[in-house]
Amino acid sequence: MYRLNKRVRKLLFSSLVQQEIGFFEATRTGDITSRLSTDTALMSRSIAANVNIFLRSLVMTVGVLFFMVSLSWQLTLLIFIESPLTIVLQKLYNKYHMHIQLAMQLIMLYTGQHLIRNGQMSSGNLVAFILYQGDFGSYVRTLVHMYSEMTHSVGAAEKVFDYLDQKSTVPTDGNLVKETLKGHVEFQNVSFSYPTRPNIQALKNVSFKLKCGEITALVGPSGGGKTPCVNLLERFYQPQSGQILLDGRPIEEYEHKYDHNKLGVVGQEPVLMALSVRENICYGLQNCPISSVTAATQKANAHKFIERLEHGYNTDVGEAGGRLSAGEKQRIAIARALIRKPQILILDEATSSLDLESEHTIQQVLSKDTGQTILVIAHRLKTVEKADKIIVIERGMVMEEGKHEELMERKGCYFCLLQRLSHNGE
């Protein structure tokens, strides 16, 4: 039973981690944990124990019934009259159960005596029948109990199988793998709505290009559509219409792990493990030399503050990086992305907690001709004004795109956005 429980939980967990992000937005956490902890245990007990006991009791019931009929079909008929009557009366008046049972035994003994007098049954057979009758009642009660348990377990098993059969709405069966990936990204008339808000379009016919070797800044007001663009590029969701091309091929054609290995993402609130600084930077990489780690931290302007820590690169960052400041966590996260040398690098407010000096240092490193496709999402003017191209997205639509100077001369959406930021002191 425990081996089966372990196997079912492993299969269920494997199925859950392959679901798209929208599945977890629409499904409550309590439901998922209940399936993993409670329902899998009920399902395993039903298959490994309840079915076993049920089948065993069924065989014993049929066997005992056969012997009882062979001894006396008349007394067996009385047993079949007693069982349903007892069940009904037990539900109505439980305190009378022991009495309405005593009466049936008296009737059975009287009938048995009558059969003995008529020569239809021996006294030994009557004793054997009474013994069989006691076992028969026990087996019947076990069958009823096990049937109730199995009915309850079937409901739990149905919920487990619903998750096991759940298929991700984001296709992950692509098999395209390229030896060299340039990282040229193109959004073609992409429209998208979140699964939990199907009537609200987050993106409306969005089209733009990200070229390799360039830094593209995606700007706009909160809720304008920047995050959905990143989520679609990360393959967290599937657009309702349009397509995203990577080096001229639809992004869903690429092998799923290959696609994510070529994509590096640093968010505003990066997640660190309760490990050392070095282990956090090398997380998931095999045989990562310290020289590669220090090279990445120097690019992220993190090497100096790491060396000042108590144990340097072996310092434990604490639960979720709680021993580090927000800016230090962001720099470690940037180093963790850079060490993987992704062809496409997404910085989603990744420098929001950094001081101007650190941000300037990182920008200088990123602005060098690394051949990467870099997408920057930020509100700070200094972060985006030196980008090779700025795309302004608002209300789910691309309003403008061009360099900082060009957009300022047009005095359109970008100009108005910066005016509002300046007015608010940002």
Give Cα 338 to chain centroid, integer Å.
Answer: 27
- Structurally, at CATH architecture level, domain 185-423 sits in 3-Layer(aba) Sandwich (3.40)
What mean pLDDT is predicted for residues 183-209?
Answer: 89
What mean pLDDT is predicted for residues 291-313?
Answer: 87
Q: 164-182: per-residue pLDDT in tens?
A: 888 888 878 888 888 888 8
What mean pLDDT is predicted for residues 274-280?
Answer: 90
CA pair distance 353, 307, nearest whole angstrom: 20
Q: 371-409: per-residue pLDDT in tens?
A: 788 888 876 666 777 788 889 888 889 898 888 888 888
Angle at 326 between CA 322 and CA 328, to 5 degrees: 90
What mean pLDDT is predicted for residues 260-267?
Answer: 86
Q: Beta-carbon neighbour count of residue 158 at 10 Å?
A: 11
**pLDDT surpasses 60 at 138:** yes
Beta bridge partners of 186: 209, 245
User: Looking at 150-154, 303-307, 319-323, which range is the least confident one?
Assistant: 150-154
Mean pLDDT across the chain, nearest whole number? 81
pLDDT band of residue 13 (cuts 50, 70, 90) is very high
Q: In the prediction, which pLDDT does 410 show? A: 85
What mean pLDDT is predicted for residues 187-198?
Answer: 89
**pLDDT surpasses 70 at 93:** no
Interacting residues of 234 by C-beta distance below 8 A, sequence separation 6+: 260, 263, 265, 346
Distance (Å) of CA 352 to CA 220, 355, 419? 15, 8, 20
User: Looking at 93-107, 131-145, 231-245, which range is the least confident one?
Assistant: 93-107
**pLDDT surpasses 80 at 367:** no
pTM value is: 0.69
CA pair distance 252, 175, nearest whole angstrom: 9
Both tokens of residue 269? 């609130």
Q: 41-68: per-residue pLDDT in tens?
A: 877 777 766 667 777 777 887 888 787 7
**pLDDT surpasses 70 at 254:** yes
pLDDT band of residue 347 (cuts 50, 70, 90) is confident
Taking alpha carbons only, the member of 386, 391, 390 closest to residue 368 is: 386
User: Looking at 1-5, 188-192, 225-229, 380-384, which range is the least confident one?
Assistant: 380-384
**pLDDT surpasses 60 at 99:** no
pLDDT band of residue 187 (cuts 50, 70, 90) is very high
pLDDT band of residue 190 (cuts 50, 70, 90) is very high
What's the length of the chain? 426
What residue segments make up the domains of the chain, in order of their start?
A: 2-164, 185-423
What mean pLDDT is predicted for residues 259-282?
Answer: 86
pLDDT band of residue 422 (cuts 50, 70, 90) is low
Interacting residues of 267 by C-beta distance below 8 A, sequence separation 6+: 333, 348, 349, 350
In the chain, what percentage of residues exceed pLDDT 90?
Answer: 6
The CATH topology of domain 2-164 is ABC transporter transmembrane region fold (1.20.1560)
171 with 19: CB under 8 angstroms? no
Q: In the prediction, which pLDDT does 179 show? A: 83
